[in-house]
Amino acid sequence: MKSKFTFFKAGQGSFYGGRIWLHEPNQVFTIVFDCGTSPFIAGNNQSLNNEINNFKHRPHYFPRNNDEIELLFISHLDYDHVSGLKRLLTEFQVKNIILPYIEKEHRQFFLTSIGDNNDPDNNLTIDEYISLIESPNQFIAQNSERTRQFYIKPNGKTEIEYQGYDNNENQSDNVYPRGTLNNETTELINLPNVFVYENDLQFFIKRNWEFTTFAKSVSETAIDKLHNCLKKKLKKKATDNLSLDDLKNLVTTYRKEAHKCYTDCIGDINSHGLVLLHGPIRFEHLCGDIYTNCELNNFHNDNRYHRHFFDEHHFNNNNRSMLGTLLFGDTSINPGNNPIVFPKAFKDKLVNVHVVQVPHHGSSKNWDFAEFEALNIGDNVNRWGNRVIAVCNFGYGNKFGHPSHQVLNDLRSTIFLNSQFSRLNIRYDIIHQRP
């Protein structure tokens, strides 16, 4: 098995993806996590469009499937993480899309995440973004009708048991979900190609690659704070509630004022979403390297991992070895800001993470170094003589102070700044266990 994943040059946003090639049955699987950027920084949209083109057309050593996406994960619906979504849905054959389920009464406020949007290179218009927020499932179906939609419902549970891979050697699907279906989400009941899961959804490529998700709910306190700010802009009474039509009016007529409310609350609002842990499992030998395509500096790190499976208690479900990438999206590990609390079954996997995305572009409001260290990220990787790499997605010229000095001071030489000028690549060559 071979793989290559990249943190692309998206500026103040996020676009991560790659391909996995299975020698048997000579098949390529394309994976994407988020695809968007903020239009208020000149050139960001052009950078994202160039990266999508690069992802689709670049030559590589995998034989085919440049126009298919097997798994498309969306961390949350803020504009800077989904502005490229329509391009992916219309230009690729997206087989499965996975995103957290947020109630309409909460997600409608994400409309205010869009700022100035007059860049001619922009991929998602204001009307299209309104359509996405109003009904994600309809937007997806209209742009890619055969795509299967998987929604993960945050439930606040701290005890979760993941099912793990299917141990049946006769499993007919090369890529398959594992988890507990939820049939009580009224908005999505009985819709074609739509599936709702409890907060234990995993995907697997055979028994060779694992994708484990965990969804954090939105902070209702933060939504209330944003709601009150927006009501003042419209001179509404404190007891009034804003409708979706009110919010549409705000983002079309008073966009700057509405976005100002959002940015004032951004640290509180942006503390929810989907976290993804993924990587190869059950391997005997793995060699790989981490390198950049960077206009500002060079970075290179060779990795050689050799793991035998003497410890049968390393993971539950006999996932005895993993080398993982952890993608936080815009969630928070700050105890004072709607922090994510991983269930033990998820946290136990983090010792084998060697690449981690810094939460929320390096925002100080979403960061706590003591909490980061307490996650024991990469403890096993460090023992193997390799260091954990922390990747911070941000755009030079952003007005939020990302990444914060606190994050830079805490992570120092382990951090890679993934901006509109720099791309980080992770490449593996893997030998798996024989059955």
Q: Is 252 helix (H, G, I), strand (E, B) or coil?
A: helix
Q: Is 389 helix (H, G, I), strand (E, B) or coil?
A: strand
pLDDT means per 10 residues, the chain with 435 residues, are: 94 95 86 92 87 81 74 96 96 97 90 68 83 96 97 86 84 90 93 96 95 92 87 84 85 81 72 94 86 71 41 30 91 93 94 95 95 93 73 93 96 92 91 70
**Residues whose CB falls within 8 Å of the CB of residue 35, separated by 6 or more in sequence, listed in order:** 10, 14, 15, 17, 48, 52, 81, 82, 83, 84, 85, 87, 88
Tokens of 176: 């398959």
Pairing of strands 93-100, 148-152: parallel
Backbone angles phi, psi at 397, to 5 degrees: 100, 0
The Cα–Cα gap between 374 and 378 comes to 11
Tokens of 382: 């460090």
Tokens of 238: 């404190």
The pLDDT of residue 65: 59
The pLDDT of residue 248: 85
The pLDDT of residue 307: 38
The pLDDT of residue 395: 93
What's the distance, CA 419 to chain centroid? 16
Question: Which residue, 180, 146, 8, is CA-closest to 84?
Answer: 8
Q: Is 150 helix (H, G, I), strand (E, B) or coil?
A: strand
